[in-house]
Amino acid sequence: MMRFPENFIFGGATAAYQAEGSTNVDGRGPCYWDEYLNREESRFNGDTASDFYNKYPKDLELAQKYGVNGIRISIAWSRVIPDGSGEVNPKGIEFYNNLIDECLKRGIELYVTLHHFDTPLSLFKNGDWLDRDNIDHFLNFAKVCFENFGDRVKKWVSINEPWSVVAGQYIIGHFPPNIHYDITKAVQAMHNMMVAHSKVVELYKSMNLDGEVGIIHILESKYPISDKKEDEKAAYLEDTIANRFMLDACLGGGYEEETLETIKGILSKNDGKLVIEDGDMEVIKSAAIKNDFLGINYYASHFLKGYEGESNIYHNGTGEKGTSIFALKGIGERVDNPDVPTTDWDWPIYPKGLYDMLIRIKEDYPNYNKIYVTENGMGYKDDFEDGRVEDDPRIDYIKQHFQAILEAIEDGVDIRGYFLWSLMDVLSWTNGYNKRYGLFYVDFDSQERYVKKSAHWFKKVSEEKRIVEIDEIDY
Ligand code: BGP
């Protein structure tokens, strides 16, 4: 039987805006979600979220009790520097000091992200990652965090999922500023984020803080739905823009010529071009060899078909199965694979896509150092009855992905940990509160926590360092 390595991290992931709530207290400034989700027509907002701001001692107590020995948190930029670029807020520093100390007290290792989708509102209004000044403001924020928390936090992540940020902001349009189908802006913002990431790596290394720094990408495999040439091309194109472009930058030390040519081809079909400023490629190249780890967030893979039409997307934000549309001009169209099950939000459940991605990184980017699977999990409308949640489909989902990870480890990929998205139920950016992922059920009215069946299962996996069958646990 395959077993997880001795020091493997069995973690739980959170992000500031999705978990903390308390958006108006102790001097926190707004991020762009505050404004957007407080519109009248919005179905939900993040004002209270999971109340992690107050409830974190309880969440960490539960984490420790249920075998969670690592946690991903993110630091809300606008809690620490309320307007993004000016004064530091001592109350923000105090909150994260307390949170960090509580994690360490419980023996839970911290993996801290600096940017998890939540640019401060004023910087967002200046253009967010499309504004090159954002890079300097971000570096300043990173420095404040390294100085204040770097003595205790030893694992740092610069940015969470550049592709998801720009796809949400400029292509799908379900993240502010809600622009649709602007592939050029998306590519430009991704490039700028990679420059920012690289400068953060350089900064961290210059501070001799005795820890590690890396980046997290969403990396979903893209497969042609048939062996037709146009379907193969569609898969290749979507893979290039969503995966290869980012991997080339953070691990390869620059965009391969073929990658750049392909990106330029996509942009020319969309009447755009990428601006790379002097010095960008030098810093990207220099940081790539200093990157200590790569975080992979993996939920699904996609099956592609050739597509010649205009871009057309429908985002399923309610869990009404079968409603998604995703077709991009100059790239391709995502289609159903009848052999692959999907979640209610139409995300294909395909653990082989994770295995394939892990092997590909080992083969194509041999200097990757080490990998953490920094997010994986199943969004599900949990049935809550008498304080209990029997979430067998979630357990089955995690089990299949654990299996893929163990196989990749056996085949030589250096994987050091797994973080379940999410530790407890949190806000889902574009879906609200009915798409739950946690080990611990949150009653969002009372903010009470309840232990799901998956938490019992996770505990046993973490303790025994092997994949446990569902019927091995009592619940
Ligand atoms: C990732 C994000 C997380 C989380 C997760 C689930 O892309 O890093 O913040 O939200 O996806 O996504 P969703 O909430 O849309 O189901």
Which residue has the CA at smallest separation from atom 12 of ligand 1? 428
Residue 270 confidence (pLDDT): 86
Ligand 1 contact via 428 beta carbon (within 6 Å) = yes
- Tokens 């001097």 -> residue: 27
Ligand 1 mean position to 426 CA, how many Å? 10
Q: How far apart are CA 281 and CA 254, in angstroms?
A: 6
Ligand 1 mean position to 376 CA, how many Å? 9
Ligand 1 mean position to 117 CA, how many Å? 10
Ligand 1 contact via 74 beta carbon (within 6 Å) = no
Residue 215 confidence (pLDDT): 98
Residue 230 among the catalytic residues: no
Q: H or E stretch including 73?
A: strand 70-74
Ligand 1 contact via 92 beta carbon (within 6 Å) = no
The conformation of residue 472, written as its DSSP 8-state character, comes to G
Residue 257 confidence (pLDDT): 96
Ligand 1 mean position to 429 CA, how many Å? 7
Residue 1 confidence (pLDDT): 84
Residue 31 confidence (pLDDT): 98
Residue 335 confidence (pLDDT): 97
Ligand 1 contact via 375 beta carbon (within 6 Å) = yes
Ligand 1 contact via 100 beta carbon (within 6 Å) = no
* pLDDT tens by residue, the chain, 475 residues: 899 999 999 999 999 999 999 999 999 999 999 999 999 999 999 999 999 999 999 999 999 999 999 999 999 999 999 999 999 999 999 999 999 999 999 999 999 999 999 999 999 999 999 999 999 999 999 999 999 999 999 999 999 999 999 999 999 999 999 999 999 999 999 999 999 999 999 999 999 999 999 999 999 999 999 999 999 999 999 999 999 999 999 999 899 999 999 999 999 988 899 999 999 999 999 999 999 999 999 999 999 999 999 999 999 999 999 999 999 999 999 999 999 999 999 999 999 999 999 999 999 999 999 999 999 999 999 999 999 999 999 999 999 999 999 999 999 999 999 999 999 999 999 999 999 999 999 999 999 999 999 999 999 999 999 999 999 999 9
Residue 72 confidence (pLDDT): 98
Catalytic residue, chosen from 20, 220, 238, 375, is 375
Ligand 1 contact via 15 beta carbon (within 6 Å) = yes
3-class SS of residue 358: helix
CB 281 within 8 A of CB 384: no
The conformation of residue 31, written as its DSSP 8-state character, comes to B
Residue 333 among the catalytic residues: no
- 246: tokens are 């980012």
Q: What is the pLDDT of residues 125-178, one digit of tens each?
A: 999 999 999 999 999 999 999 999 999 999 999 999 999 999 999 999 999 999
- Tokens 């602007």 -> residue: 182
Q: H or E stretch including 27?
A: none
Residue 375, CB-side half-sphere exposure with 13 Å CA sphere: 26
| Residue type for position 298 | Y
First-to-final CA distance of the chain: 25
User: What does each C-alpha distance from 424 to 15, 61, 166, 275 come to in angstroms?
Assistant: 11, 12, 26, 41
Residue 265 confidence (pLDDT): 94
Catalytic residue, chosen from 161, 220, 238, 333, is 161
**Closest atom of ligand 1 relative to the 435 alpha carbon:** 16
Q: How far apart are CA 138 and CA 129, in angstroms?
A: 10
| Assigned CATH for 9-450 | 3.20.20.80
Q: Do you find a cis peptide bond into 446, omega within 30 degrees of 0? A: no
**Closest atom of ligand 1 relative to the 218 alpha carbon:** 7
Ligand 1 mean position to 10 CA, how many Å? 19
φ, ψ of residue 410 in degrees (nearest 5): -60, -35
CB 58 within 8 A of CB 119: no
Q: H or E stretch including 418?
A: strand 415-421
Residue 426 confidence (pLDDT): 98
| DSSP string over 241-261 | IIIIHHHIIIIISS--HHHHH
User: What does each C-alpha distance from 76 to 15, 104, 114, 136 come to in angstroms?
Assistant: 8, 20, 7, 17
Ligand 1 contact via 113 beta carbon (within 6 Å) = no
The alpha helices in 106-216, defined as continuous H runs, are: 121-125, 133-149, 162-166, 183-206
Residues 6+ apart with CB under 8 A from 425: 50, 382, 433, 436, 437, 438, 440, 441, 442, 444
Q: What is the pLDDT of residues 414-457, one digit of tens each?
A: 999 999 999 999 999 999 999 999 999 999 999 999 999 999 99
Ligand 1 contact via 421 beta carbon (within 6 Å) = yes
Residue 358 confidence (pLDDT): 98
Which residue has the CA at smallest separation from atom 4 of ligand 1? 428
3-class SS of residue 336: coil
